[in-house]
Amino acid sequence: MLAALSLAAGLGAVGLGSLPAPSAPDWQDGACPPDAGTTVVVQTADLAEVRCALGGFDSALEATHQAGFTTEYVPNNPGMVCVINAYPMPCNGAPAGAYWSLWLAQTGSWHYASQGASTQPVAVGDWVGWAFGAGTPPDSALLAGSAATVSAPAASATDSGTASRNTTRAGSPWPAVLGVVVILVIAGTAWLVARRQR
C-alpha cells in the first residue's frame, strides 16, 4: 500500500510539474496608463469594450489581438475584418451599412485609419478604435474615460436583433481540468495497486 501511494505521489509530482505556469496577461480592462501600451476600443450599437494591449505593436490588428479580441475576415477578401469577438455572427459580408471601420486617436478625437488593420502602424499611447455600423467613429467620450465596458447609444436599425456579447474575461479552464484528471489518475492508480496487493 505504501509503495502504491509513493508511486501515485511520484506520478502526481511529474504530472503537476508539467502543467504550464500561468502566463502574465497580455491585456487589462480599461484604457492604458501612459507609456504602457495601446488602448483598443471595440464598439457596437449596444456595447463598447475598452482594453489596454500591454506593450508595443507593429499594427492596429496586432494590438487588437494582443488586447484579447478575435477577428475573422470577409470570405474571399482576406484583410477586411468582418467579425470581432463573434460579432456579427455569422459574417454579414461587410455591406456598406454594417461593417467594422478602423479608427485611430492620440488625443481628443478619432481619425479614420489611412491603412488596413494589418499594415496600420500604431505606437505606445495610441488608441485603436473599431466601430460597427455605417462608418461612424467610436464614441469620443471613450477617449476621456477608462471604463472597461460601457453601454453604447441605443441600437440602430442595422444592429437590432443581434445578441449581446459576454464581456467578462475568463482564464482558460484547461489547467484546472488537467489538474483534476491528474488527481483522478493518481487516485485510481493507488486504488488499483492497493487492491492487487491484497
Read off the pLDDT of residues 34-92 as tens digits, 9 standing for 90 and up.
889 999 999 999 999 999 999 889 999 999 999 999 999 998 887 899 999 999 999 98
pLDDT in tens, 132-186: 999 999 999 998 765 554 444 333 333 333 222 223 233 334 345 445 555 666 7
Pairwise CA distance, residues 143 & 9, whole Å: 54
Distance of CA 92 to CAs 74, 79, 88, Å? Answer: 8, 15, 7
Torsions phi, psi for 17 (to 5 deg): -65, -20
Domain ranges of the chain: 2-22+172-196, 31-151
Residue 172: what residue type? S
Distance of CA 62 to CAs 37, 67, 77, 128, Å? Answer: 12, 9, 19, 11
What would the grid cell of residue 80 be? 477586411
Whether domain 31-151 has CATH 2.170.130.30: the reply is yes
What would the grid cell of residue 22 be? 500561468
pTM here is 0.63
